[in-house]
Amino acid sequence: MSRPFELDPVFRGLTTLPGVGPKNGKLLEKLLGGAKVLDLLHHKPADFVDRRFSPKISDAPDGKIATLEVQIMQHKPAARRGLPTKVIATDGTGSITLIFFNMGADWFAKQLPINETRIISGKVENYQGQKQMIHPDAIGKVEERATIETIEPIYPLTAGVTNKTLRKAIKGALSTMPKLAEWDDAAFLKQQGWSSWHDSIKMLHDPEDESGLLPTHPARQRLAYDELLANQLSLALVRLHQRKQNGRAWVNNGTMRQKILSTLPFDLTGAQKRCLEEIDADMREPLKMLRLVQGDVGSGKTIVAACAMMNVIECGAQAAIMAPTEILARQHEESFAPWLDAAGISYITLTGRNKGKEREKIYQQIADGSAQVVIGTHALFQDSVIFKELGLAVIDEQHRFGVHQRLALSQKTKGTDVLVMTATPIPRTLTLTAYGDMEVSRIDEKPPGRKPVDTRLLPKEKVDSMIDAIDRQIKTGARVYWVCPLVEDSEVLDLQAAEARFDILQERYGDQVGLIHGRLKADEKDAVMSAFARGDKKILVATTVIEVGVNVPEANIMVIEQAERFGLAQLHQLRGRVGRGAEKSFCFLVYAEGLSQTAKERLTIMRETEDGFIIAEKDLELRGGGEILGTRQSGLPTFKLADLNAHGDLLAAARDDTKLILSKDENLETERGIALKTLLYLFEQDQAIKRLQAG
């Protein structure tokens, strides 16, 4: 089955719409984050102007938007460049001066011919006893009155695209929009007071008053629900498909695990134990495990992963752990080595760095099973890597991999138990959208003895004096991470900012300063990183490549420049790099001047708590429906119509609805099921549809 043809009109390119050419088409595409008509239909108005107020000139109040019917009396051309052209108009009750800058005489002759009647709309102002209107928003002939005297939605715009252009294009899109078979339950629709998809999209673009802009408006609710239902349904379909695959029951008596645990200088925390019990219960079942372990940075996920691996190793199968970066894979190798050596388990590491013959040899050891544990990056999940019997795949910091890689991975791991681990504290509602009904374990307790990080907000002007303070610290053995801001979407610019800071610090500290960024080759990164870990370098200037996982207990100062540009979850992760050793730790959040109140509040949360889950919930609350820098990297789905803060209850409803639907019609073959397939296409949940087709 391919996309239903009814959807064609909304999947056409934007340039098929009136007033959209190649040039503003590109601009629109950037604004909307998509090049389809549908992307435009999903662009919500943020405000509106009410042009229905239509007084006589004498009654038009100062400062109010009014639509007037006037007769054009006189053109008064600009006396010289830079001065406006004035047009005098009357309606029998008084006169108004229309003021225009930079318009040619031809334009006036055509748009506002003398003695003709025109409808004009805009803000009326009193200026020295005379009414005036600067650049009316709309001008039309009398017969166009109905199109002007309306409520005009105002959209978020981008330079080069006017609201008028956008409105025209949206009108065009609305006129070709199809009517689709209803996918929502009729009784539910009635109970909610919602209209059809078609009518709801129309209402979205036709707010009648303030309520039309609120997330509580029935049209906005319905459309949010559609989006959430598509999300939940697609996750559930993928999950259903996976659950059908049988796994192996990993029955063992835990001797391998015991060998590892006996090497540790500490006991597992209660949370780690609880998490392992949940994992063990899954793994004893002959079904495929798909479990998410959420645990703050430093909560001790690595040892949990190693213990889980022992379940399959003891049964003679292999286990793998995949990290998002080379650095992290190497770090895992270091952590695992003493544990696995103690238990007499063979292991191997595979990353992009292994080339040629060496790589072939690694493949061989994976294929013949002589490598019991395999550590690596996504290189592990390429087609050429074939395991003898992969019993458990652990995906670390999996939010960095993105939904698509995750799905590709689930293909690779048919019948394999999967444990995903993330340090990104995700609010509960978001967990639902990202993982559907995947099982979740939380490690919500840190190993004992962690010292709180002294977190301070610092205006940019004070950076120099902070460098002085750091100088004293370094002399007594401190080690500093210095993270440079995300600039735009550009790796090149990120790098420039980091290099500039590196130069400044190097002037003072010479070769004690290292620089690490995404453009370095893997071995170059390793070299810098290990120089920092050894203490040969005292300051490590970095772009966000150090974001996840890296463990240097001696590092006790974290500086984050332009902290306001990071998501709170990211800041939290970065801060988690320090506070791991014996020394007191600091985190300086450097901000630029002119910070908004909300931005300040967000940073203040960082000062108030180190609990990642609280930080995540607060962040969601504060940023509301707005975009946040850093979500791009989070791997979480982003919604255009749903606002998880306002529509959390709809998400829960969509989840329940999904369960009900799939319990009765898991291949979506009933009449409603077929309509739901259209919904999946509408929200481009192609992966889920593929699963359906695979059966």
Give contact residues for Mg ion (rule: CB under 5 A).
Answer: 549
Q: Helices 402-412 & 218-243, crossing angle to 10 degrees? A: 20
Task: Report the distance separating Cα 112 and Cα 97, nearest Å.
Answer: 13
The minimum distance between CB 327 and ligand ADP, in angstroms, equals 13
Binding status of residue 295 toward ligand ADP by CB under 6 A: yes
Instruction: Select the binding partner of residue 419 from ligand ADP, Mg ion, none (C-beta < 5 to 8 A, by kind).
Output: none
Q: What does 299 bind: ligand ADP, Mg ion, none (CB cut-off 5 to 8 Å by kind)? A: ligand ADP
Residue 529 interacts with ligand ADP (CB under 6 A): yes or no: no
Nearer to Mg ion, 549 or 579 (CB): 549
Q: Using CB under 6 A, pick the residue from 45, 247, 298, 514 that binds ligand ADP.
A: 298
CB-closest chain residue to ligand ADP: 300
- Which one of 119-127, 244-252, 298-306, 319-327 is the stretch in contact with ligand ADP (CB under 6 A)? 298-306
Token readout for 649 is 């209850």
Among 447, 518, 581, 637, binds ligand ADP (CB under 6 A): 447
Instruction: Say how far apart CA 29 and CA 694 lie, in whole Å.
Output: 33
Size of residue set near ligand ADP by CB under 6 A? 15
Q: Which of 269, 311, 372, 585 binds ligand ADP (CB under 6 A)?
A: 269
The answer to whether 665 touches 168, Cβ cutoff 8 Å, is no
Question: 236 or 307, CB closer to ligand ADP?
Answer: 307
Nearest to ligand ADP of 295, 514 (CB atom): 295
**Is 67 within 8 Å of 52 (Cβ atoms)?**
yes
- The interface region with ligand ADP, picked from 97-105, 300-308, 511-519, 625-633 by CB under 6 A, is 300-308
Task: Give the sign of the dihedral formed by CA 523, CA 525, CA 526, CA 528.
Answer: positive
Nearer to ligand ADP, 269 or 410 (CB): 269
103 contact choice in Mg ion, ligand ADP, none (CB below 5 to 8 Å, kind-dependent): none
| Residues 384, 385, 386, 389, Cα dihedral to 10° | -170
Query: What's CA 535's distance to the chain center, in Å?
Result: 36
**Distance between CA atoms of 395 and 397, rounded to whole angstroms?**
7
Residue 25 binds to ligand ADP (criterion: CB under 6 A) = no
Q: Is 485 in the site for ligand ADP (CB under 6 A)?
A: no
For residues 187-202, b (16+ Cβ closer than 10 Å) or e, as one string?
eebeebebeebeebbe
**Best CA proximity match to 473, nearest among 564, 578, 571, 570:** 578
DSSP notation for 615-638 = HHHHHHHHHTTS--TTGGGT----
**Structure token pair of residue 684:** 């481009």
Tell me which of 99, 297, 394, 661 binds ligand ADP, using CB under 6 A: 297
Cβ-based nearer residue to Mg ion, 28 or 327: 327
C-alpha 251: how far from its chain's center? 40
| Part in contact with ligand ADP (CB under 6 A); list of ranges 108-116, 215-223, 293-301, 411-419 | 293-301
> Does residue 301 touch ligand ADP according to CB under 6 A?
yes
Using the minimum distance from each CB to ligand ADP, give the nearer residue, 481 or 639.
481
* Interface map 630-669 toward ligand ADP (x if CB under 6 A): ----------------------------------------
590, interface contact from ligand ADP, Mg ion, none, CB < 5-8 Å by kind = none
Closest residue to Mg ion, judged by C-beta, is: 549
- Supply the minimum distance, in Å, between the C-beta of residue 301 and ligand ADP: 3
User: By CB under 6 A, which span of 211-219, 250-258, 301-309, 398-406 interacts with ligand ADP?
Assistant: 301-309
Nearest to 585 by CA among 459, 477, 444: 477
Contact between 567 and 636 under an 8 Å Cβ cutoff? The reply is no
303 binds ligand ADP (CB under 6 A): yes
Contact by Cβ (8 Å): 575, 558? yes
State the minimum distance, in angstroms, from the CB of residue 311 to ligand ADP: 18
By CB under 6 A, residue 300 contacts ligand ADP: yes
3-state secondary structure of 48: strand
Task: Compute the least distance from the CB of residue 178 to Mg ion, in Å.
Answer: 48
Residue pair 66/55 in contact (Cβ under 8 Å)? The answer is yes
Q: Taking CB within 5 to 8 Å according to partner kind, which of Mg ion, ligand ADP, none is near residue 298?
A: ligand ADP
Helix (H) or strand (E) holding 454: strand 453-459
- Name the minimum Å distance from CB 266 to ligand ADP: 4
Q: Binding to ligand ADP by residue 555, rule CB under 6 A? A: no
Residues 422-441 that bind ligand ADP (CB under 6 A): 423
- Range 560-587 burial, b when 16+ CB lie within 10 A, else e: bbbbbbbbbbbbbbbbbbbbbeebebbb
| Interface with ligand ADP, residue 309, by CB under 6 A | no
Q: How far is the CB of 179 from ligand ADP (least distance, A)?
A: 51
Spell out a b/e string for 89-120, using b for 16 or more CB atoms within 10 Å of the CB, else e.
Answer: bebeeebbbbbbeeeeeeebeebbeeeeebbb
Site string for ligand ADP, 239-268 (x = CB under 6 A): ---------------------------x-x
CB of 332 to ligand ADP, least distance (A): 9
User: Could you tell me the CA-to-CA distances from 481 to 512, 552, 633 in Å, in that order?
Assistant: 12, 10, 21
585 near ligand ADP, judged by CB under 6 A: no
Report helix, strand or coil for 403.
Answer: helix
The answer for 113, left when phi > 0, alpha when psi is -120 to 50, beta otherwise, is beta
Residues that bind ligand ADP (CB under 6 A): 266, 268-269, 272, 295, 297-303, 423, 447, 551
